[in-house]
Amino acid sequence: MIARYVLTSTCLSSGTMNLTQSLRVFLQGKDRIALRDEEGEIYDGIVNWRQNRLEGLAPYYAKRRLNVNDKIALHLEGDEIGLEALTPTAKSARPRATEVERSRPQLPEPTPEKTEKRIKVTPYPKEVIFPHKPVASEAPAFSADLEALGFSRESGSAPWVFRAALGRRTFHLALAKFGEMDAKELLAYRQQGRVQYAAIVAGESSKPEALAEIAAVRPSGLVQMGLGFVSPEALQRLVKLRTAFPVGPLDVERLLREGRIDLESIQGLEREISAVLRERSHFSAVLTLLAEMPPQQVFLLADLMPMAREMYLEADHLQQVLESLSNPPFLLLKRLSPGEFLMRQSVEQTLADWVEYAEVMARRLQGVLQDK
């Protein structure tokens, strides 16, 4: 299996790659992976799932002298990833002289009979030779945040176009920094049907000025005009949320439909995620209550309520978790009658069984994906 990756300034400065969809599938269940370059040299790659990136590539980038927008072919094979720089300018750094070479006597170099005169020629800039071809710019900082949220960048200059591939659905987003591109141009780009969404990117401190420019294009409202506002601070907050909950392109699209992605607009999403995380904490609290109960013991919901209230658990929360623990794949409890349960085995043994089940499934899925 072969994948391709386009380097960004963030990748080069941190010696990393973002975990694209193909990399996530290949690296499923792995924390480390061997990286082999064109000359057979091996690097130790670390899979940082929390920050959604593959680390340990700095020596390879330096060796091949790679730059922004250079491409790398990734050969995903077995227990290693083959690296192949797809740019003619990438070459290995000259090896340092060995101790033996330094100890050899230095013979005088022969004097050339004729001295050639070298003339330095300064080439014309690309924009002079090819005035019709836009020159690629360095990707903006918000590009890395969108890539971490599941988008892929498809342009090398403004407007910065990002693609969200969601299986049976795909949508494109065009962004331009405030002052980098006129709002009318960006709106026209959107109205030509090239992308589904377009927005101006500006910091929270510059939001009033950016919104005024957007409103001047068509004062009927952000949502109707198809042109919105995005702040880098909000994107960074979404990336941070992703470490606790799988935020993705669909969550971003819902905000785009409302016309804004700023710190104020994402508060609703933060509340939803907090509610989900509270449900998970309820689940953990109930397991803590059941951990003191021996196997094969019958109990009532009411038996747990005094301790549950000390953990700020209401009866409906407790009932919901107990019902879940009675169903596959948990099967910790057996429901005998409404509000009455049998403790099948200890919580400790059940947790060990869940770990074993997860590991078996991970190995099975890895085998299935490798066969494809």
- How many alpha carbons lie under 13 Å from residue 149 in its C-beta half-sphere? 25
**Residue 190 burial by Cβ neighbours in a 10 Å radius (0-12, 13-18, 19+):** buried
pLDDT at 133 (0 to 100): 43
Q: List pLDDT tens digits, range 5-52.
A: 888 888 888 999 988 877 877 787 788 999 989 888 899 999 998 888
pLDDT at 342 (0 to 100): 96
Hey, what are 89's tokens? 């300018």
pLDDT at 299 (0 to 100): 94
Q: List pLDDT tens digits, range 161-211.
A: 999 999 889 999 999 999 888 888 888 888 888 899 999 999 999 999 999
pLDDT at 177 (0 to 100): 92
pLDDT at 214 (0 to 100): 87
Terminal Cα distance for the chain, rounded:
9
Q: Residue 76: pLDDT above 90?
A: no
Average pLDDT across the chain, whole number: 82
The yes/no answer on whether domain 2-85 falls in CATH 2.60.120.640 is no
Sheet holding 160-166, edge to edge: 152-153, 160-166, 169-177, 197-201, 227-230, 260-261
- The residue extents of the domains of the chain are 2-85, 141-265, 289-366
pTM (two decimals):
0.53
pLDDT-derived band at 144, boundaries 50, 70, 90: very high
Q: Residue 252: pLDDT above 80?
A: yes
